[in-house]
C-alpha cells in the first residue's frame, strides 16, 4: 500500500487541489510545498525570478523530512527534475508520485484564473516548463493527463495508487 504520495507538476497544474482531494480520500495529512518555501524564494517568485537548483535544495530537503517524519502524507510540490525527485524520495518507503501532466496553453489558462498566488507571470511558467524533465522510467510515477475533468483526474489517480 502506498502511504506517502507526492503530487507533482508545474505551477498551476492542480497539485494543491488534487493533493487535498487525494489526502481526504485516504485520510492522510496534506502538506502544500508552497507553504515551505523560504521568504527569499517567495520574494524571488513574486518578482518573476525563477528559482535555481540551489534555491530549491533546502526546500526539497524540508519536504523530504516531512515525508520521512509522517507515517502517511500527501505532499504537493513541483518536483521538476529527476534530481529533485531523488531528494524527495531519499529514505522514504511506500511512495507513489502522481505527475499532473499538461501542456503550456492549458496550464497558462488556469494560471490566469488564479488570485493571490505569489507565482508571477508567464515567464515564470515558461521557466518551469524549461526546467521540467518529465518522469520517464521512474517506477513510482503515475502520469495523469490534466485535460480531463477534475473528477477523472482524481479517479485515475486513486485507481493507480490503489493498484500499487
Task: Tell me the torsion sign for CA atoms 78, 82, 85, 87.
Answer: negative
Write down the pLDDT at residue 24. 98
Write down the pLDDT at residue 113. 76
Write down the pLDDT at residue 99. 98
Q: What's the CA gap between 38 and 23, in Å, rounded? A: 24
Q: What's the CA gap between 130 and 132, in Å, rounded? A: 6
Write down the pLDDT at residue 118. 56
| Cβ atoms 32, 16 nearer than 8 A | yes
The pLDDT confidence band at residue 50, using thresholds 50, 70 and 90, is: confident
Label residue 17 exposed, middle or buried (CB < 10 Å: 0-12, 13-18, 19+): middle
DSSP assignments along 41-98, one per residue = HHHHHHTTPPPPHHHHHHHHHHHHHHHHH-SSEEEE----SHHHHHHHHTT--SEEEE
First to last CA, the chain: 6
Residue 18 carries which DSSP code? H
Cell numbers for 75, please give them.
Answer: 505532499
* CA distances, 58 to each of 31, 36, 47, 64, 109 (Å): 16, 10, 20, 10, 30
- Percent of the chain past pLDDT 90, that is, above it, reads 77
pLDDT digits (tens, 9 = 90+) for 106-162: 999 887 776 665 565 788 889 899 999 999 889 999 999 999 999 999 999 999 999
Task: Kindly report the pTM of this predicted structure.
Answer: 0.93
Lowest-confidence segment of 62-71, 98-107, 109-118 by average pLDDT: 109-118
pLDDT digits (tens, 9 = 90+) for 9-28: 998 899 999 999 999 999 99
Does residue 66 have a pLDDT over 70? yes
Average pLDDT, the chain: 92
Amino acid at each position: 500500500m502506498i502511504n506517502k504520495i507526492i503530487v507533482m507538476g508545474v505551477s498551476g497544474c492542480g497539485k494543491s487541489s488534487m493533493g487535498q482531494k487525494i489526502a481526504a480520500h485516504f485520510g492522510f495529512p496534506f502538506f502544500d510545498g508552497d507553504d515551505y518555501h523560504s521568504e527569499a524564494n517567495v520574494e524571488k517568485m513574486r518578482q518573476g525570478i525563477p528559482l535555481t537548483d540551489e534555491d530549491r535544495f533546502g526546500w526539497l530537503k524540508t519536504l523530504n523530512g516531512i515525508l520521512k517524519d509522517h507515517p502517511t502524507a500527501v505532499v504537493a510540490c513541483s518536483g521538476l527534475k529527476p534530481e529533485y525527485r531523488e531528494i524527495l524520495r531519499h529514505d522514504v518507503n511506500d511512495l507513489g508520485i502522481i505527475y499532473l501532466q499538461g501542456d503550456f496553453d492549458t496550464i497558462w489558462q488556469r494560471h490566469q484564473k488564479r488570485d493571490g498566488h505569489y507565482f508571477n507571470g508567464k515567464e515564470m511558467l515558461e521557466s518551469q516548463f524549461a526546467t521540467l524533465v518529465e518522469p520517464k522510467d521512474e517506477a513510482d510515477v503515475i502520469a495523469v493527463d490534466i485535460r480531463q475533468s477534475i473528477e477523472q483526474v482524481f479517479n485515475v489517480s486513486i485507481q493507480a495508487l490503489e493498484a500499487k
